[in-house]
Structure 1
Amino acid sequence: MTRSVWLKADDEVGDWEQRKRRITAGLEAGVDWVLVDRADVERVRELGDVNVAAFAGDDVHVMEAESSGVDADATVVGKDGEGDGTVDLPPDFSGSADLSALRRDEEGPMGGYVRIFDEDYEAFAEEVAREAEYTIVVGENWQIIPLENLIARIGEETTLVAGVQTAEEAQTAYETLEIGADAVLLDTDDPDEIRETVEVRDEAGRESLDLQYAEVTAVERAGSADRVCIDTGSLMDHDEGMLVGSMSRGLFFVHAETAESPYVASRPFRVNAGAVHAYVRTPGGETSYLSEVASGDEVQIVDTDGNTREALVGRAKIEKRPMFRVQAETEDGDRVETLIQNAETVKVHTREGRTAVTDLEAGDEVLIYYEETARHFGEAVEESIIEK
């Protein structure tokens, strides 16, 4: 699931200068959405590139008349709760409500904003969720139990956005019932809290992989081939690298070039990945051919414990280089292999730690990611494919 962070920046925050400071901090941190009053939409557009959701305002009819001049990515109704003329909780609410304000398809995606005070408001939020593309719920007196109930009942018909004020609350929202809210609406002026919430979002969407060791059965000189170096826009740590291999079911852990040597300076942004035909793992559990990796793509960085993160590719360099063919056998007896450059600076991970491929020998155990599945255009599929 892809998580997102919305930042609340309407007139309840303060004057425009206060709102501007909050929005600027959000843009610098990398929030996905900014929620503002419709009068501020163009101002936000001038500050930077971000999705903008706009509160509809008190008079829906005026909003409809002026909608062509409001360049918002989504319109949100229900800001003022009861009596704002948009989405109200009737005093005698019994499971149905007038939600016509959420059905104006010509205005693009619609969202409903519901403040939850008790079970009636929670039930009302369920009604809103059946109509709105985005359902924003802000707990006033209680948070966890209503959120659990809504996650369990709503399903996938809406994007559920939970109101929070801290990164800690955001993490709880993302983890509730092991499913979590799709997004959080953050209400804070603290730039550190905004940045930490974005970091929580990134962590919540990342995979954790089960890596295993495979026994090396052959290391052979294989002549020259077109080799790909992936230079990312991120600095990698000593225990990080990428997963690459000739066979999609068995990808070898190749370290980033973080180590100093007497002859070559470290390149902690780089992974010397392998030959052009090989796969590299990308975010979301997909793979790409190394030959297709280009500037602007995303690749998956992995550490030796299987923790993952994303990195933007700045450059992919293809050069003819001498290669090794490395073959290994898994615990189940399956054979996997890859082509990797014959160079001391290229290192895989063995039980003894970082090991240059030039020192690799039969009998060593190398770290790999193994999955019993085939690939079609980078997607895992259930079919029989023979790779050799």
Structure 2
Amino acid sequence: MKEIWLLVESESWDEVKEMLKDAIEIGFDGAVLREDFIKKAEKLGRMQLIPIERSLISVKSAEDQTKAIESGDVVVLRFEDWKVIPLENIVAMKKHGKVIAAVDSIEDAKLALTTLEKGADGIAVSGDRETLRKYYELVKNRIESVKLVKGKITEIRPLGVGERVCIDTVTLMFPGEGMLVGNRSGFMFLVASESEESEYVSSRPFRVNAGSVNAYLKAGDKTKYLAELKAGDEVEIVRYDGNARKSFVGRVKIERRPLILIRAEAEGEEGSIILQNAETIKLVNPSGKHISVSEIRPGDEVLVWLGRGARHFGVEVDEFILER
């Protein structure tokens, strides 16, 4: 996830303190401030603090660009004349540490976060509480697009009993939203949140009953095994139209339940998912409607995501792999 930092250049501790309090309450990741203020700042709340004297680089020349690339830790870059090319070079060539771009407007922030598609690791900003909140919303609640395609169900088969994973998030979800899960890292199903009322149980709009412990979960550019998830882990909530947002795990429940295998085909690819065999467990169709696993039939269409690369420790790599 992209980071947002407070950049404080004031020499007045009273001014710095008020800005720090706002940033901590809003949820900023860190702050760049005078080194002699760091000890005082540590008492206000938990966030990463770095000295402005050793972290802020004004990029005016090729030498400054090289200095930023060779810095091994967090580096905050200020471009005297806002130019895309120096940031592109630094993002592309920097191998260690983080690139945080100091920006003065929402437009510059959007540009910094998307340069070379990857973008800077985050932005550093200053301003009053409302300004800081607007930047935070841009960075942390930024809508990212996920390409979903139609998959046609080819097989439905009840299995025996096994362990399945419920993911309770710190975010409320809505009908048509869920998470991408599958037995293949390159073929995942949109598993619906429990945001719909049921005849038998109340809705749990913070929950996705995601599948068997072996399955992959898409979380941004990485995948995670469901069995590995724990409180505080970052997850991705995906809507039927492809819009996505970030959230975090509040609790994971692994319980033994009867399971069902569902297999589908999309664009010449085949994938499967193993879910709990219960009427409250649902996939999502192309119109955003939830379909219960107790009602789904061969030939029905559901939304899936196709990834083309192999995965090693959750990261996409270019190598041969065959998953069935």
TM-score bracket for this pair, using the shorter chain length: 0.7 to 0.9
Q: C-alpha displacement at 1:365, in angstroms?
A: 0.8
Residue 286 of structure 2 aligns with which residue?
351
Q: Which has the larger radius of gyration?
A: 1
The correspondence for 1:22, drawn from 19, 23, 39, is: 19
The 1:215/1:29 distance shift into structure 2, 3 A limit, reads same
The correspondence for 2:132, drawn from 178, 186, 194, is: 194
Answer yes or no: is the 8 Å Cα contact 1:287–1:379 preserved in 2. no
The 1:130/1:238 distance shift into structure 2, 3 A limit, reads closer
- Greater percentage in strand: 2
Q: C-alpha displacement at 1:209, in angstroms?
A: 2.1
What letter is aligned with 1:175? T
Secondary structure of 1:358's partner?
Answer: coil
In structure 1, the gaps of 5 or more residues are 57-75, 77-110
Counterparts of 1:1-388 in structure 2 under 5 Å? 3-12=2-11, 15-56=12-53, 76=54, 111-114=55-58, 121-123=60-62, 125-126=64-65, 128-129=67-68, 132-133=71-72, 136-138=76-78, 142-143=81-82, 147-154=83-90, 155-157=92-94, 159-176=98-115, 178=117, 180-188=119-127, 190-202=128-140, 208-288=145-225, 290-332=226-268, 334-352=269-287, 353-388=289-324
Q: How many residues align?
A: 319
Deviations for 1:301-356, whole angstroms, at most 9, x for unmatched residues? 21112233332222221222222221112221x32212112222111112352111
**Distance in 1 between residues matched to 2:282 and 2:57, nearest whole Å:** 52
What letter is aligned with 1:262? E
What letter is aligned with 1:351? P
**Distance in 1 between residues matched to 2:307 and 2:69, nearest whole Å:** 38
Deviations for 1:288-308, whole angstroms, at most 9, x for unmatched residues? 2x2222223222221112233
Q: TM-score, normalised on structure 1?
A: 0.74
Answer yes or no: is the 8 Å Cα contact 2:141–2:246 preserved in 1. no
Answer yes or no: is the 8 Å Cα contact 1:167–1:194 preserved in 2. no
Deviations for 1:198-254, whole angstroms, at most 9, x for unmatched residues? 2222356x7532111111112222232222211112211222111112222211111
Answer yes or no: is the 8 Å Cα contact 1:249–1:371 preserved in 2. yes
In structure 2, the gaps of 5 or more residues are none
Q: C-alpha displacement at 1:112, in angstroms?
A: 4.1
Deviations for 1:67-104, whole angstroms, at most 9, x for unmatched residues? xxxxxxxxx2xxxxxxxxxxxxxxxxxxxxxxxxxxxx
**Distance in 1 between residues matched to 2:222 and 2:191, nearest whole Å:** 17
Deviations for 1:168-207, whole angstroms, at most 9, x for unmatched residues? 432233235655444332121x222212212222356x75
Answer yes or no: is the 8 Å Cα contact 1:7–1:34 preserved in 2. yes
Answer yes or no: is the 8 Å Cα contact 2:175–2:290 preserved in 1. no
**Distance in 2 between residues matched to 1:201 and 1:129, nearest whole Å:** 22
Secondary structure of 1:21's partner?
Answer: helix
Secondary structure of 1:26's partner?
Answer: helix
**Distance in 1 between residues matched to 2:134 and 2:239, nearest whole Å:** 21
The 1:335/1:265 distance shift into structure 2, 3 A limit, reads same
Secondary structure of 1:359's partner?
Answer: coil
**Distance in 1 between residues matched to 2:313 and 2:122, nearest whole Å:** 30
**Distance in 2 between residues matched to 1:191 and 1:375, nearest whole Å:** 41
Answer yes or no: is the 8 Å Cα contact 2:259–2:275 preserved in 1. yes
RMSD, aligned α-carbons: 2.6
**Distance in 2 between residues matched to 1:230 and 1:251, nearest whole Å:** 16
Structure with more relative contact order (C-alpha pairs < 8 Å, separation 6 or more): 2
Secondary structure of 2:294's partner?
Answer: helix
Q: TM-score, normalised on structure 2?
A: 0.87
Answer yes or no: is the 8 Å Cα contact 1:230–1:317 preserved in 2. yes
Deviations for 1:28-83, whole angstroms, at most 9, x for unmatched residues? 22222212222211111011111212244xxxxxxxxxxxxxxxxxxx2xxxxxxx
